[in-house]
Amino acid sequence: MTKLPKIKNNKLLEEALTHRSYLNEVKEKTPSNERMEFLGDSILSFVVSDYLFNKYPDFNEGKLTNLRSLLVNTKMLADLAKECDLGSLLRLSKGEEESGGRNNPSLLADTFEAFIGAIFLDQGIEAAEKFINLTVIPRAEEFIQKNLLKDPKSRLQEYVQSKRQTSPLYRVTEEEGPAHAKTFTIGVYVDEKLLGKGTGHSKQEAEESAAEDALRSIK
């Protein structure tokens, strides 16, 4: 399990770990982690982009974009949050707790980004970059070695069409959250059979996550 760096300012740590549902049940002035998630998302994207640009000078824009997407998508960040045990530290409402919020991929990914934001505000960009280099960056070489740079929807399409004369069909099965921060759950089907499910903050991201899930299930 990855050990989380210590955040000296306890208010920043509390904010990074506070889901908006928690504030509906307690009278507390601590804001939710949504603003900090916004900051952490930007820092993560910058650090990963900078690393990939310098590490792989022979990669064109398409390859760099696909690799970055693999590194910062909801599933990846949720997996990293689990490795850091961030879920156990979250401050959630009873309802969110009972509905499995501590294992919700979208919620975990958001918290991971918020934690990056908290590190930055507490200790600066170098500390945030160190944490990203420890958790996110090592996956880049793994993806390259597994030849996963082609986006998962394309890989699933090629696989399905090699087996039968049809294409995967993606359907939205659930939408959650306010209009400015929706989370989509999408299923991918072949001949009406569900092959995989995925979640994301956009339909595109959820479709890619569903395709990845399907590819794992058919290996």
DSSP 61-113: HHHHHHHHHHHHSHHHHHHHHHHTTGGGG-B--HHHHHTTGGG-HHHHHHHHH
Of 133, 138, 102, nearest to 116 (Cα)?
A: 133
Positions annotated as catalytic residues are 41, 113
The architecture of the domain spanning 152-217 is 2-Layer Sandwich (3.30)
Is the pTM value of this prediction over 0.85?
Answer: no
CATH superfamily, domain at 10-145? Ribonuclease III domain (1.10.1520.10)
- 146 vs 40, residue with greater confidence: 40
The band of 180, judged by pLDDT with boundaries at 50, 70 and 90, is: confident
Long-range contacts of 46-55 (CB under 8 A, 24+ apart): 47/128, 47/129, 47/132, 47/133, 48/72, 48/132, 48/136, 48/137, 51/133, 51/137, 51/140, 52/140, 55/140
Residues forming CATH 3.30.160.20 domain(s) in the chain: 152-217
Look-up: residue for tokens 């982009």?
A: 49
| Separation CA 169–CA 171 (nearest Å) | 7
Element (H, E) at 123: helix 105-123
26-30, 62-66, 128-132, range with the lowest pLDDT: 26-30
How confident is the model over 34-45, as a mean pLDDT?
97
Q: How far apart are CA 23 and CA 96, in angstroms?
A: 12
CA distances to 57, 60, 101, 169, 218 from 144, rounded to whole Å, are: 14, 14, 32, 27, 21
Predicted confidence (pLDDT) per residue in 59-104, tens digit: 888 888 889 988 999 989 999 999 999 999 999 888 888 888 899 9
The answer to whether 66 and 151 have CB atoms below 8 angstroms apart is yes
pLDDT for residue 149 is more than 80: no
Query: Is 100:17 a contact under the CB 8 Å cutoff?
Result: no
Q: Where in the chain is the domain with CATH 1.10.1520.10?
A: 10-145
Give the distance from CA 38 to its chain's centroid.
13
Please choose, from the candidates 85, 142, 143, the residue with its C-alpha nearest in 3D space to the C-alpha of residue 115. 85
